[in-house]
Amino acid sequence: MGDNDQVSHWNAPVAAGPVDADVTIPGSKSLTNRALVLAALADGPSRLVGTLRSRDTDLMVGALQALGTRIEGPSGPLGPGDTDLVITPGELRGADVECGLAGTVMRFVPSVAALATGRSTFDGDPAARVRPQATVLDALRALGAAITGGSLPFTVDGTGSLRGGRVEMDASASSQFVSGLLLSAARFDEGAELVHVGASPVPSGPHIEMTLEMLRESGVAVDQPTPSSWRVAPGAIAAVDRVVEPDLSNATPFLAAAAVTGGTVRVPHWPAATTQPGDAIRGILRDMGASVTLEDADGAGHGTLVVVGPERLSPVDLDLSAIGELTPTVAALCALADGPSRLTGIAHLRGHETDRLAALAAELGAVGCGVTELDDGLEITPAPLHGAPWRAYADHRMATAGAIIGLVAPGVGVDDVESTSKTMPGFTAMWADMLAGQG
C-alpha cells in the first residue's frame, strides 16, 4: 500500500572533492505530526507555519481530516505544496485511517479515534503490520477504549469520550507509545497517569520531552513524577499558533557529507536550544573530529550551523539509546572513520521501519565494512569500501545512509531511494544540489 510501491534504483553520486554547500532543511516531522494532533483536539483554530509536507505528515493530515478535522492552506483548500496550515477542530467521527509506514500515525491517532463517535479502522503498508503496536492498544483498552486487534489492521469503536485514569505499560520498544497517549490524555474524562514498567528505560527520551513541552505550550497540566511516569490533568487543549523548526535528524546526512569529504555544509535556521534528538549530531561530529559552530544567531535563537570535515574521522564509542534515529547516519560515518567504533543502547531499532541493526550490518558488510551485530548495537571496523547494491528496506534513513557511503565508494546503488519521501521529499535533488558546490 502507499506511494512507495514503485521501487526505483538510484546510483549514489560520488563526491569529486570536498562539498561546499548551503542546505535548507524542511520542517520537522516529529514536531509537525505532534502539532497536528494537538491542533485537531484543541479548543479553537490553530495555524502551523513551516510544516513538513512528506508521506508521513500527509498521512497524518489525511487521518485527522477523515476523523473530522478541517485542515486548509493559507488561502483555502489544502494544496500539495502548502506548508502553512490552518487547522479547525471538528466533531470527531469514525473513519478509515491509512497509516502507511508512519509510526506516529499508527501510535498517535488511535487515542484520537477513541474520542470519536463510531468505528475507525486502521491499516498500513505490509511492513507496518509487523511493527510493535500492541502496547498502546492495550493501554487504551485499560483506559476504557473498545479496540479489536493488537497490530495493524485493527479497529477502534469510539463512543465520543474515554474514561482515562491510571495505566501501566511497557514502552521499552518505542517512546511513541508514551507520546501517543500523552497527546490526547487531557481530553480523557479523568486525564491519564502513565507508568512505564518495562525492564529497560523508554528509548528516545528527547521525543517525550518534545511532547511534554508542546503540551505545556498548549495549556495542558502535565508533570513527570518519576523518570518512568507521567500525569496529565483533564481539561481543554488550547489552540496555539506554531512555527515548526527544521527537521534536524533529516539534516544529519548533509552534515555527514561535509564530515566524510573534508568539506563544509551550512544549514540555516538551526535552533540554539531544542527538544529535537537530531541536535545531538553536533556533539557526535565534534567527537569525530569535525569543526561545528553555530553562527549568526538571531533574536529568536536560530543561527546557521556550519560543519567543516576533518582530514580523518575519529572512531567513537557511543550510547545512542536517547537518539536512536541518528544511528544510520552515525553508522555510515563510523564506516569511514580511521578505527573501530561501537554503537550501543539501540536494541529498540529492531522494531523501526525495518530491523535497522540487521539492515545496517548487512548493507555495510556488503560494501566491505567489518560489522558485528550486538544484542543492543553494532561494532563497526572500517575497511576499504567498494560499490555494491544497497538495500533501503523501505526505510528512509537506510536510504540516506547509503547516499553517505556512496560519496566515497563508487558504485553504490540504492534500491528504493523514494523511501526518503517518508520524511524528506526531493532528497535526491537536494543531494545533487549539495554536490554541485564541491570544492
Catalytic residue numbers? 325
Distance CA 383, CA 340 (A): 10
Distance CA 423, CA 247 (A): 9
Cell numbers at 174, concatenated: 518505542
Can you give 420-431 as a three-state secondary structure string?
HHHCCCCHHHHH
Distance CA 154, CA 101 (A): 15
What region does 219 belong to: left with phi over 0, alpha with psi -120 to 50, or beta? left
Write the CB contacts of 129 (distance below 8 Å, at least 6 apart in sequence): 123, 151, 152, 153
Write the CB contacts of 86 (distance below 8 Å, at least 6 apart in sequence): 45, 46, 47, 71, 72, 73, 74
Q: Which residue has the cell 540555516?
A: 268
Distance CA 151, CA 153 (A): 6
φ/ψ (deg, to 5) at 181: -85, -40
Q: Indicate the SS3 state at residue 342.
A: strand
Cell numbers at 197, concatenated: 514498567
Distance CA 405, CA 426 (A): 19
Q: Which helix (H) or strand (E) holds 331?
A: helix 327-335
Short-list 415, 422, 410, 408, CA closest to 363? 415
Q: Indicate the SS3 state at residue 365.
A: helix
Biggest CA-to-CA distance, the chain:
62
* Residue 27 DSSP symbol: B
- 271 with 301: CB under 8 angstroms? yes
- 158 with 119: CB under 8 angstroms? yes
